[in-house]
Structure 1
Amino acid sequence: MMPPPRELLSDYRKWLEYKHRTPPTIKFYIRIAEQFLPYIKGKKIDEEDVKSFLEERTKGLRERSRRNVKTALNQFLKFLKKRGYEVKVPLREPIHQNELLKKFIAYLKARGCTGKTLSNYPLLARVFLRWLKGKKVLRDFDKSDAMRFLMYLTSERGVGPGGLENYVDALRNFFDFLAIMKITSRNPFREIKRPRRARSLPNPLSIEEMKKMLEEARRLGLREYALMRFMYATGVRASELLELRWADLDLRSRTALIRGKGGKNRIVIFDEETSLAISKYRALVKKVLMASSQDRVFLMKSYMTLSKMIKKIAKLAGIKRNVTPHLIRHSFATHLLEAGADLRVIQELLGHTTLRSTQIYTHVSRKHLKTEYKKLWEMLKF
């Protein structure tokens, strides 16, 4: 037998207070519960009861208000279930888009994603959610819907093959996350073929251009010179450079631990001049480091800051084309190859899992790495 409404609502209020709900929230939740009471017939609540109430109660309301009513009703149904009612209704609380994306970011961080992946994937997922709104619920989204979304991107947003590849990668991860959250049970973006962009490597800087950039970096300051030398001496990615900590550097052995993509760490080596440049820079910023908890080597957090510095140095060096951090990395690899280094050595230094051209991965010993690496600096001598 159902307890008197006043007693039921009194217990519900205590339950909400126990869950630390704010007074305005409690007031709203109690009002929704009070309005739902006439729809309760005995100790059993089925989907039709809930559907009838929501149709009546949310008629003419905006999306946000409808969502608030659903959330409040879900809370009351959870309470009723704890009181022994037979609730045959899914009790999943609606998740707001921003909250969902915050959880997605936390999921990516837990997987070890950093840099552009961590910033771009949630943005691409947001574009997808905006397109999906009002068309279909995530639970029912299938392969044909995924194809329609990709068609929308190409026809209405002008997204090219490279952009489509990024979207598919991002949404494969997003639907993996949704499956963990029990929001979906399938991943339609893993059922479609991943678009492939035309791979075109940037035209590398010449050795003369690289020398000019290093000379200009030296004129600008110790940090700029140490950073440029380290980037070119190791070929690290921009995200890896930004995450480099002092504890990862061993200036005596001229090695550094690089925390790469997907949690794959590797050791890189650098020359004596680079080690000396970093030592001088560290002496300059020693007081700053001691006065703060900052342990990043080059004291910058964003890719944009790094990119602006590289472009400024290139402009001062008289280089008129677009110079990016990745172009420095590509130039490093190209110059190593020109110095006679083995492709597998370059693969190891760059932190690539496979060589796409040969599909072969061969372990390279540290001793052989250093031997091959010296070839570049014997040729350059600067």
Structure 2
Amino acid sequence: MHRTTLKVLLLFAIMSLPATTLLARPNDVDAAALIDALNLQESQVPVREMPFWRKPKKIYMVPPGYTDEERAMQMQQAQKAVGDVQLVQISYPIPDDVINEAEVLLARCTPRIIREAKHLRWLQDSRHGVDSCMIPEILEKPFVLTNTQHTSGPPISDHVIAMMTMLTRGLHHFHRYQLQGEWKDRPIDFPMLELEGKTLLIVGLGGIGTVVAKKAHGLGMKVVAIRNSSREGPQYVEYVGLSNELHELASRADVVVNALPLTNETRGLFDATFFDAVKRGAYFISVGRGESTVTADLVAALRDGRLSAAGLDVTDPEPLPAGHELWSLPNVIITPHVAATTDEGRWRRWMVVLENLQRYVNGEKMLNVVNVKRGY
């Protein structure tokens, strides 16, 4: 099927949705423009040039929609994208016979799939991070793994800016006074900062971190960043350091944002040593993965003033159990791993899945191929 035809079909389906469907989207959707805007990366070579590729006869799919109506719509769109290829809808838990047979699977990547799917050639995960299936066996498996990374940059960056603004203006404290019915204008015993001219350190200058950097720069902040791969970055990032510069840059930052994927190298990275190095009174915002932060060390830093406050969309453990001390700290905002959940985010992720479906069937270059050696 021609790509222009796919766009028309997708537009028609989106325009036909009822107003209450969360995937509803204005009729100006352009897949190519979206790919460019989100800086989605294509594989270096078409998938047809990989030795394990062949046009699939059957594709198993867990549609990621929230309702039966939404999932039915996604199946219709997907079938039009793959043409005469048989598309089979499945659900969780995935049956053993599907795992044993599947060559192409659209579902959450799990260790079970990696270990037991002996014929797997392509796995599309509709999530952004796939750290949950990064087990040693994945390195031995000749298949393509793709995800929807970069699609969450816009909503998560909004979440970061919202948390940063709330914390630096002390709105979390004022909200508590409001609930108590207390008008407390004096004395104000917590910082109330202006963001312009302050330094923001982004740890993980990937798809999410780059959009955070752009928005923070627009607020007049000085943006510096850490990335593992290179010192390259957009012009609105004043300095890009490597991982060995983390503590030095943290010592100068007023706000630190964790936007890292979870790998062996990033697990427990934000520990007591990091919080000792960070500029005293800084703000810590975490939207990467909870396990990159040592929770006990974070709590200690929040209690003794090394950190003024923290905004956490991810925690360790997760879900955060009732009674955990993070819940009761007055200088913490917690959201339950929902930073990517917005009115726009779901259709954006689905468009990437749909685009990859057509690309794989046609043997073209794939979007968002995961480097399984790096884990993201």
**TM-score, structure 2 as length reference:** 0.27
Return the structure number with greater helix share.
1
Greater radius of gyration (CA): 1
- Structure with greater proportional strand content: 2
Flag the structure with more relative contact order, 1 or 2, with Cα contacts below 8 A and sequence separation at least 6: 2
* Structure 1 length-normalised TM: 0.27
